[in-house]
Structure formats: C-alpha cells, structure tokens
Amino acid sequence: MKIATWMTTPHLQHAEIAHDCGFSNIVLDIEHGSFDLGALDMFIGFLKARGIGVHAKVLGPSMEAVQQALDFGADSVIIPHIEGAAHAEAVCACAKYPPLGKRSFAGGRCMGFQRQSDDYFPAENARTRCWPMCETAGALEEIEAILALPTVDGIFLGPSDLSLSRGRPNYHFTEADREDIAQVAAACKAAGKEWVMPGWRADEREFVRGLPLKPVMMVVGPQLGLIRAAFEGLAGALKAEGLR
C-alpha cells in the first residue's frame, strides 16, 4: 500500500520536506486549493523531477480539468462530484486516449516534449490512473456500474461528502460511514479494481487495513492540518513554560 500526503497550496519547501521524510506520493487538491494553471504546471514538474508520484484531484468533472492535470504530468486524476454511472462514463473518457476514451493529444511534459511512438498511447492509458470519486449518494448507488467502465481504474473515496450526501449531519466515522466504506471496497474487489482512501485518523487506517481488499493508496497528513497541529503543539509547549 502506498502512503501519500495531501497538499492544497503549491509550496515547494513543504513538498521537499515531505519527500525528505519519506513521502513519495502527493495528492494535489486542486478543487479546494490555490493552484492556478501556471503554479500547477510548475509544481507538477518540480514534483516529477524529484521522483514524487503526483495524484491530481482536479478542479471539477470536466474535460479541460482532467486533461490539463495529465498534460502537466500527473500520474493519476481524481475526479470529484461524480453523480452516477452515466456521468462517470462521460467524464472519465477524458482521461484515456482513443480508442479507449477521448483524451486529446498534447505534446508537452507528458510526452517528454517530443513525438512518441505509436505504442505510447496504449502504454500511457495503462500507466495513468483514473479514479472517479465516490462522494455522492448517486455514485454509491451505481458504484458497480461505475467500476465496470473500461476508463475507470478504481475509486477514490470521499467519506466526508458521502456522509453528508447520505443525509448524515457530518462525517464522524460512524457505523453507517464504515458500512459505506466497506461497500465501496467490496465493489472494487468484485470488479478487480483498486481504491484509495483518505485516512486522516488512526481508527480509519486500522479499519481499512482489515478489509478484504486494502486500498492501493492511503492519503494522510493534510497540509494545512499539519501546519495547524505544529502551531498548536508549539503554543501548548510555550504555555507550559509560562510564556503564553
């Protein structure tokens, strides 16, 4: 199982420190973060130069958002706001070159800034991962049909939005939340496909490790949460020293 950390701002030193501490995969939250196109292009190039796996949670379920992340060199795209199988079919096709999908040709970083041989396109389709998110009640209801799509390599679970979409007041990793997570994992196992889980807490990580199909990657350590935790720890230490 790969372990990734989560970034919402294109901070080079944060990524360097994460990599130096052993994190060789990073999820970029473009949807909720502060990545404009110029920063995204620069940041993905920087991460790839350091040998870091780049997993882009794109701005939204659109062809442009999916293709831009892949063209800049992302190893996988995580597509939010999927409402069901028909929606997933239309959007996930943008992540794969024809004849499998409808991804457009681009001659940038993803192609080494040069023309490639004919076998590049099927090889790139197999190498890059397309992970639509299961974060809506509609996506969960049609999870088997979504996983049956040839353009879908697996599922990225969004437990917080899924809990809200299912009519619960918030995500607290309740029994109902655990049932939803287990349902997604079981569907992926039955389809022979992978899944990814953000495991912010130890009890979440322990739970998913006990499922019949473990996630191919677990995401930990949200960037801004780590910064806040560091400042809270420092503030607590200063208070104990009588300096606050």
Q: For residues 139 and 82, is the Cβ–Cβ distance under 8 A?
A: yes
Is-catalytic flag, 32? yes
Please tell me the pTM assigned to this model.
0.96
pLDDT, one tens digit per residue, over 110-150 is 888 888 889 999 999 999 999 999 999 999 999 999 999 99
* Per annotation, catalytic residue among 11, 14, 19, 32: 32
Q: What angle do CA 5, 206, 237 make, to 5 degrees?
A: 60
Q: Tell me the residue range of the domain where 206 lies.
A: 2-240
Q: Based on the structure, what is the number of domains in the chain?
A: 1
Across the chain, where does the E strand assignment appear?
2-7, 25-29, 53-57, 76-79, 129-134, 154-157, 194-198, 217-222
pLDDT, position 110? 87
Higher pLDDT, 113 or 195: 195
pLDDT, position 64? 97
Which stretch of DSSP H or E encloses residue 13? helix 12-20
pLDDT, one tens digit per residue, over 44-86 is 999 999 999 999 999 999 999 999 999 999 999 999 999 999 9
Rounded CA gap, 124 and 109, in Å? 13
CATH of the domain at 40: 3.20.20.60
Overall average pLDDT of the 231-235 stretch: 98
Residue 209 neighbours by CB under 8 Å, 6+ apart:
1
Which stretch of DSSP H or E encloses residue 143? helix 143-147
pLDDT, one tens digit per residue, over 177-190 is 999 999 999 999 99
